[in-house]
Chains A and B, each alone.
Chain A
Amino acid sequence: MIGKLMKKEWQEFLKTGKFYALIFVFLFFSILSPITAKFMPDVIKGLSQGITIVIPPPTWKDAFSQFFKNLNQIIFLVVVLLFLGSIAEEKNRGTASLIVSKGVNRRKWVIAKFLFQFILITLLLIVSFFLCFYYSIILFPDTMIDLPLSGTILFLIYIFFVLSLTIFSSSIGKDLLQAGGIFVTVFVMFNILSILPKVKDYNPMTLSSIESQWLMSGINWDTAVKPISSTILISLVLIYLGALHFHKQELE
């Protein structure tokens, strides 16, 4: 049943053009990141009009630093906007009640949506990473693979959390607006919690700062064990709570 429900999600993504929007954003920024890193110093120098600006020569680390920045900002935003309404909008439109009135298991429906989203993002992320790596090698022949690959794995775990939070918000909210409100509230809460030193090590938000740290000073899995394990645990709890709430929720 989960496979059949995921097939519908895929058809929806193709037919509504969401897939093309997503693939464009992923590919565009994965190509743009190394190009920006390589040529931005020249652009800045060209615009300086006589003022001497000393910019260190760009390296492949700048390319991936730019890549992670784009992932954490623009791609994060696009992913959230595309997936936040996945359940809430169906509830609002009435298609959710039509489907569950056919005896479709509600928990499976939520899990199918999450799995589809996670698999899609994982595939796009793999393609993006290798595209960024390919252009980096062309522009910076000394590009290494282990550091950026590890950072990308960390981002994948982080996006696992983000997607679980969107599915949780979408399961609880009655429409896109409510789902958005829940998402922002929980997301801000995690950001505030990351200030507290004791909680910081267990906070999913820490993962994005570790990506940059690793890029600059090398991989240290010991620093990531706590945030990775707690992020996976928190994400699974969020999916479980979302599915549980939707299972009991009254639909219009």
Chain B
Amino acid sequence: MSVIKAEGLCKYFGNKKAIDGLNLEVPEGVVFGYLGPNGAGKTTTIRLLLNLARPTKGDAYVLGANIRKDRSYLKKVGYLPDVPNFYNFFTAREFLGFIADITEVEDSKKRIEETLELVALRDEKKRIGTYSRGMKQRLGLAQALLSDPPLLILDEPTSSLDPQGRKEILDLVSSFKGKKTVFFSTHILNDVERICDRVAIIKEGKVLLEDTIDNLKKRYSSHLFLIDVDKPEDLAKKIKGLPWVKSISRRNKREIIIDSSDILLAQKFIPYIILKENLLLYRWEILEPSLEDIFIEVTSQ
């Protein structure tokens, strides 16, 4: 079952197409990375899913409810905005008390204490107005988790956090795998690589690709080779200009990386050239790209 499903979803602001025919499926129980450069339409997608904005065209379903017709699904969604703002006059406990009231949380006092414990704010007695950015982010996560919703929508939850804060948030989100569905919007690729099961890359309001991270790496790894030979410049000279060679780059004194458009031709010809030129081969490796490599490649197309 898809927890989030978008079908040709569009959001236009005048002539600007913020979201343009977005198709997306987020399966149940996964941590889903929603990646894109700034201005790609990540936050607009989230605003549409949360009924904070209305789609220009298309449909979307969240937890089976059509977002155009039904707002009741919102009670089952926990949302952390990119810049969380709260009522500064409340303490964390008072604020969660208010959220528990409006979301009708059962046994609210116990649940509030559990949630504060989870985000390490249980001993915090100060007003929210005095909190650091990291503390606000943790409180944001606490209010999103308070009603124990099956779906969490997190908009850039780790941006502007220090490494320790990032690690804490990521560890916490990672612990929801299999228990909750997490829609995780970010432009920090390391975070996605670390905790996400599936990923969609979005640019100019369109999903460019969507798959598991493993599949993406397999799909994009096949054309990069690392070759370690005694005379890499000789090999580079011989293969440069061949139709299946897209680029050649030097990694260090002996290693070169070849980007090939045809893996089969590369696998046939490169060993032949090495043999013919009497080069000494130390290592041959098909490279697995980082998510960053894939992201740059996909978004620059």
Contacts and interface: CB of A to CB of B under 8 A. Distances in A.
Given A4-B102, A102-B99, A102-B103, A95 B71 contact: no
B102 A5 contact: yes
B74 A102 contact: yes
11 contacts: A1-B102, A7-B98, A8-B87, A11-B94, A11-B98, A94-B85, A98-B84, A98-B143, A101-B51, A102-B75, A103-B72
Interface string B90-102: 1000100011011
Interface size class of B (residues with CB under 8 A): 20 to 34
A114 B298 CA distance: 51
A5 B77 CA distance: 20
A100 to B, nearest CB: 7
A251 interface: yes
A97 B90 contact: no
A99 interface: yes
Interface in A68-109: 93-95, 97-104
Contact of B53 (A93, A95, A99, A250): A250
A8 B87 CA distance: 10
B40 to A, nearest CB: 17
Contacts of B72: 103
Interface in A207-223: none
B48 to A, nearest CB: 10
A42 interface: no
A198 interface: no
A146 interface: no
| Those 7 A-B pairs whose CB atoms lie nearest each other, nearest first | A103-B74, A15-B89, A103-B75, A94-B85, A250-B53, A4-B101, A101-B50
A155 to B, nearest CB: 30
B79 interface: yes
Interface in A199-251: 248, 250-251
Given A94-B85, A95-B86, A95-B87, A103 B79 contact: no
A54 B185 CA distance: 78
A214 B54 CA distance: 52
Interface string A1-36: 100110110011001100000000000000000000
Contacts of A95: 85-87
Nearest to A13: B89
B64 to A, nearest CB: 15
Nearest to B52: A251
Contacts of A99: 102
Nearest to B77: A101
A100 B47 CA distance: 11
B289 interface: no
Given A12-B87, A95-B85, A95-B86, A104 B52 contact: no
A18 to B, nearest CB: 10
A7 B52 contact: no
Contacts of A103: 71-75, 103
A95 B136 CA distance: 13
Given A97-B47, A99-B102, 12 more contacts: A4-B98, A4-B101, A12-B87, A93-B85, A95-B85, A95-B87, A101-B51, A101-B74, A102-B79, A102-B103, A103-B75, A250-B52
Contact of B52 (A1, A8, A100): A100
